[in-house]
Chains A and B, each alone.
Chain A
Amino acid sequence: MNIRRLKDNISSRLMLAATVFACLLFFSMLIGLYIRARPILSLVPISDLLFSSVWGPSDGKFGFLPFIMGTLWVTGLATIIAVPISLLSSIYLSEYAGNSLRNAVKPLIDLLAGIPSVVYGLWGVLAVVPFIKNTLAPALGVETIGGYGVLAGGIVLSIMVFPIIISVTGEVLRSVTQDMREVSLSLGATKRQTIKHVVLRKARPGIFAAIVLGFSRAFGETMAVLMVVGNVPKVPASVFDPAYPLPALIANTFGEMMSIPLYDSAILLAALMLLIVVLIFNILARMVLIKIEKGVI
């Protein structure tokens, strides 16, 4: 066997080994979490865990509903704020803006994606929370606990998912070929009609994937949210209420829970739930994106 073939062989095997290692790591995490969460799963019925809103670890009460709802509220609000704004801006960037503007904005958006989440959290505490406390809440006549709550979390998170949705949507819109636009225009459609009926239609699965990716980032985000949502384990009733999302629960309580029976098992169950949900979202979005790349959709 000649030396080049040998090298080829070795390097492909190394890469295979690395891939297998990464996959194993992931599965060992999944299995590890499951094993540690099993005590609580075997003692408390799963319906109680998911649908009870009583959280009293020292009394042996582990209702995750406040945390699940907290996560859903904050993530949902963030998505509601982020989706229209980021879709409009990526449509503007890819369909209307000139090349120079597009080239100037792109690195800026990439930069936004790279800012550590604790910085967003600080910005939330220093700017968003006071704004809600001093301006918005009084103007609407609602009570808040110092401005902390779902709204602050939603705003901060939405800004963190902008870059993902904008850049993935931008890619997807650019993958719609120019001749598709030409067809529509040649039939006498205006630019707006062309974008609405043809470009967005063609890009729809990809935009869906972009939103799901953004959503799953928002779902698992910890630090920034934890700093501004108030962290009260109660099911929120409005966006001005505080919330306590799952990642915040894990980050806040891990380490101080060892003395209470089942507490650590409960927290690891929370981690397992997060992991599975984010995993499902990601797989969904990737599947759609891969199909688009292959030209199936």
Chain B
Amino acid sequence: MSEIHIEIDNVNAYYNGNHALKNISVKIQKKQITAIIGPSGCGKSTLLKCMNRLIDLTDGVTYSGKILIDNEDIFARKTDIVNIRKKMGLLAQKPIPLPMSIYENIAYGPKIHGTKKKSDLDAIVEKYLKLVGLWEEVKGRLNSPASQLSLGQQQRLCLARGLAVEPEIILCDEPTSALDPVSSQHIEQQLLKLKKDYTIVIVTHNIHQAMRLADYVIHLYLGELVEHGLANEVFENPKEERTRAYINGIFSPDLKIDSEENLKGKMCPYNFVYAKQALHNLEDGKILKIIVDDPLAVTEVPRGMEADGHKVLIVKQINKKDWEIVIQK
């Protein structure tokens, strides 16, 4: 039943002789989310850039092997890379709006591919802004510069812009690492929704994100493919010791939690007040963990704590509604 969309076959990549990808062979399923995980510098971005050949822009890079997309080898000399790239949307690490208006950012791709009529473009812009849930927020100011949006809005705009060229694949390179927790969550939800129509490949060094999103996982380490397979299997029962170590390493950072406070169901600013009270009872340097479910608290509590001179160590989502915030006094 599952269908292969991207077939990576024995790919090697070198930066000026530095061997960044070593004999990578892996198949990526159609209309599924595949997460590429691994520590930084292990070649995740390089692998992603091979898939749309943006790697060509880097000086001194060489690569070999095959990547088949719909049975077309994108490394082959005769392949028209511009057409291949049209099939793939890219969502980068931080949002990069083009230096034009919100409207033009979305219309840019379709225009380049020949859509000329204003009414068609209007319809496209509206459709994709709605798809990423940005329409209501920006419909009154479509002609203002895209750079005036907040980071989270910009990233959704970038997603819409990529979707507007009607790709089949969405490539994401740590798409939420520059965003605040709420915006990150927003993007993750979009990706989950988009999965029914698109093949999604997401690079992430956030293992929790991979767990929340991925159907399949590819674990890279120092340019090698360590393990790949169904996300459940890899996370619950990794075959490789290195995968186990990576997952565990991230799971239990060497933090000794001195006190824990469950603030679920408490609204801002009461959760903040309770957290402060709990901290007050601790000695300096001790660590408090709180669990919150108010989305406002996710940004406001860490901000308030830092303003009070405490150190915020971890802010992460632990399930659909709840967030964990770890603070050191």
Using a CB–CB cutoff of 8 Å, the interface residues on chain A facing chain B are 99, 177-190, 193, 197-198, 201-202
Using a CB–CB cutoff of 8 Å, the interface residues on chain B facing chain A are 52, 54, 57, 59, 82-83, 85-86, 88-90, 92, 96, 98-100, 108-109, 112-113, 158, 161-162, 165
Shortest 3 CB-CB distances between A and B: which pairs?
Answer: A188-B86, A186-B90, A187-B109
Q: A188, B83: Cβ atoms under 8 Å?
A: yes
Cα of A198 to Cα of B109 in the assembled complex, Å: 12
Dominant secondary structure at the A interface = helix
- Given the known inter-chain contacts A188-B113, A189-B112, A197-B108, please indicate yes or no for A183 contacting B89, CB distance below 8 A: no
| Contact with A187, one of B59, B92, B99, B161 (Cβ below 8 angstroms) | B161
- Given the known inter-chain contacts A178-B57, A197-B108, A198-B99, please indicate yes or no for A183 contacting B82, CB distance below 8 A: no
| Contact with A188, one of B59, B98, B99, B109 (Cβ below 8 angstroms) | B109
A residues in contact with B161, CB < 8 Å: 183, 187
Q: A183, B113: Cβ atoms under 8 Å?
A: no
Cα of A190 to Cα of B56 in the assembled complex, Å: 13
Q: Give the tally of cross-chain contacts (CB within 8 A).
A: 62
11 contacts between A and B (CB under 8 A): A178-B57, A180-B96, A183-B96, A185-B85, A186-B54, A186-B85, A187-B165, A188-B83, A198-B98, A198-B99, A201-B98
Cα of A178 to Cα of B224 in the assembled complex, Å: 27
A residues in contact with B98, CB < 8 Å: 180, 183-184, 198, 201
Cα of A177 to Cα of B92 in the assembled complex, Å: 13
| Contact with A190, one of B59, B82, B88 (Cβ below 8 angstroms) | B82
Least distance between B104 CB and chain A CB atoms (Å): 9
B residues in contact with A180, CB < 8 Å: 96, 98-99
Cα of A22 to Cα of B305 in the assembled complex, Å: 49
> Which residue of the partner chain B has the closest CB to A176?
B99
> Which residue of the partner chain B has the closest CB to A188?
B86
Q: A187-B108, A188-B165 are in contact. List 7 more A-B contacts (CB 8 A).
A: A182-B54, A183-B90, A185-B85, A186-B88, A187-B86, A187-B162, A197-B112
- Given the known inter-chain contacts A182-B57, A198-B98, A201-B100, please indicate yes or no for A188 contacting B92, CB distance below 8 A: no
B residues in contact with A182, CB < 8 Å: 54, 57, 90, 92
> Which residue of the partner chain B has the closest CB to A204?
B99
A residues in contact with B83, CB < 8 Å: 188
Least distance between B202 CB and chain A CB atoms (Å): 15
Q: A186, B52: Cβ atoms under 8 Å?
A: yes
Cα of A187 to Cα of B318 in the assembled complex, Å: 34
Q: A185, B54: Cβ atoms under 8 Å?
A: yes
> Which residue of the partner chain B has the closest CB to A177?
B96
B residues in contact with A181, CB < 8 Å: 57
B residues in contact with A189, CB < 8 Å: 82, 108-109, 112
B residues in contact with A178, CB < 8 Å: 57
Q: B92, A179: Cβ atoms under 8 Å?
A: yes
B residues in contact with A184, CB < 8 Å: 98, 108
Least distance between B286 CB and chain A CB atoms (Å): 38
> Which residue of the partner chain B has the closest CB to A193?
B112
Cα of A193 to Cα of B82 in the assembled complex, Å: 11
Cα of A201 to Cα of B97 in the assembled complex, Å: 13
Cα of A266 to Cα of B168 in the assembled complex, Å: 73
Cα of A155 to Cα of B289 in the assembled complex, Å: 73
- Given the known inter-chain contacts A183-B90, A193-B112, A198-B99, please indicate yes or no for A188 contacting B57, CB distance below 8 A: no
Cα of A177 to Cα of B100 in the assembled complex, Å: 15
| Contact with A186, one of B59, B100, B113, B162 (Cβ below 8 angstroms) | B162
B residues in contact with A179, CB < 8 Å: 92, 96
> Which residue of the partner chain B has the closest CB to A202?
B99
